[in-house]
Amino acid sequence: MSDGTISLIVASVGVLGTLLSAVITQVLAQRAEAHRSTREELARSAEQRASEDQRKIDQLRNCYAQLNANDRQYRDAMLAYAYALKSGSTDTEAAEEVSSARRAQRDTRAEAQLVASDAVLEIESRVNAQLTTAYRRLMQAAAEADSSARQAKLQRVIALLNTITEQQGHVRALMRLEVRATQALPDWYNPEIGPTAHLHDGV
């Protein structure tokens, strides 16, 4: 083989090596760019999911805060009116407070039915059932003409309203878990606690 041929082969190998090196470099760069783009897309997706998740949690927190507050206000307003009637007062302001609290609670429940979890709605519906029963009995007591009969009915209303506090505590416990205010339900939590006994006793 002549020197010219050898030189040509060496030169060709050098050129091919240079070209191959450029191709390999470009392929590696493209892969690195693809990996970077994938990582960035995954990061953006994760951020979007986290943002949407936080938005839902905030919406749920606001809803639950209103529902909890209005359930409590409704109960407290009825209790105040019951005690006013029991003392012989004809305070119309207390009666109006009950009506106002009832409307606010009803409106909040309507919103909650669109965003609250099934678990919260189920246990809160038991609270609402007790509140509804208490309201009906309170109105019956308020319309009772006989003083002794009115006192007996009011006492039953007050007893029922006092039992609602425990159930409301269970609702709040579940709400707190769902909005991530706590990591676990308390030991005393019992989702089966309900108004059955109170719904079926005498008026």
What's the pTM value of the predicted model, to 2 decimals?
A: 0.72
Whether 103 is in a domain gets the answer yes
Whether 53 is in a domain gets the answer no
| For range 41-69, the mean pLDDT | 85
Whether 18 is in a domain gets the answer no
Whether 95 is in a domain gets the answer yes
Residue 92: per-residue pLDDT: 84
Token code pair at residue 129:
């059932």
Whether 118 is in a domain gets the answer yes
Query: In the predicted model, is pLDDT for residue 203 greater than 50?
Result: no
Whether 20 is in a domain gets the answer no
Cα–Cα distance measured from residue 26 to residue 22, given in angstroms and rounded to the nearest whole number: 6
Whether 19 is in a domain gets the answer no
Give tens-digit pLDDT for 129-163.
999 999 999 999 999 999 999 999 999 999 999 99
Which domain, by its residues, includes 94? 65-199
Nearest of 163, 5, 154 to residue 94 by alpha carbon: 154
Whether 7 is in a domain gets the answer no
Cα–Cα distance measured from residue 20 to residue 29, given in angstroms and rounded to the nearest whole number: 14
What is the Cα Rg of the chain in Å?
35
Nearest of 149, 10, 147, 165 to residue 79 by alpha carbon: 165
CB 138 within 8 A of CB 98: yes
Most distant CA atoms of the chain, gap in Å? 132
Q: pLDDT band for position 3 (50/70/90)? A: low
* Phi (first) and psi of residue 113, to 5 degrees: -65, -15
- Tally of structural domains, the chain: 1
